[in-house]
Amino acid sequence: MKRFNTEFTRFVVVGGINTLNYYAVFLFFHQLLSLHYMASHLIGFMVSLVISFFLNSYFTYRVKPTWAKFLQFPITQLVNVGVSSAFVFAFVEWLNFNSSIAPLFAVIFTIPVTFIVTGKILKTNGEPL
């Protein structure tokens, strides 16, 4: 059981939880409150970003959250979007993947990169819990 209790495994679990959080908030605002899909997406993204910060701090990396880390944390998502966009483009344009499934393959490459960037931000001068 110990091998399933690694930072990376916890990071993947937090990612799954965070995806569910995002989607629940998105659906609440878009379907129940009839808010425009893009506004709902942005609200869902912001809410899930905050939840992700605290889950990754306390659960994944087991470090004390700080305001400085909280303000740097969105960088992890910029990296994620940049890397995933590059892979989706490469898979579709150069490798002729179906554009509907290309993002699924891109995730395979974004998880490790985002894990490393997130760890660097949250563990910098981090006090363990």
Q: How many domains does the chain have?
A: 1
pLDDT reported for residue 104: 81
Is 28 among the domain residues?
yes
58 half-sphere exposure, CB direction, 13 A CA radius: 6
pLDDT reported for residue 59: 94
* 10-residue stretch averages of pLDDT, the chain, 129 residues long: 80 92 91 91 91 95 94 90 90 93 85 90 75
Give how far Cα 74 sits from Cα of 22, 27, 29, 107, 118, Å.
15, 22, 22, 18, 9
| Size of the chain in residues | 129
Is 129 among the domain residues?
no
3-class DSSP state of 63 = strand
Is 116 among the domain residues?
yes
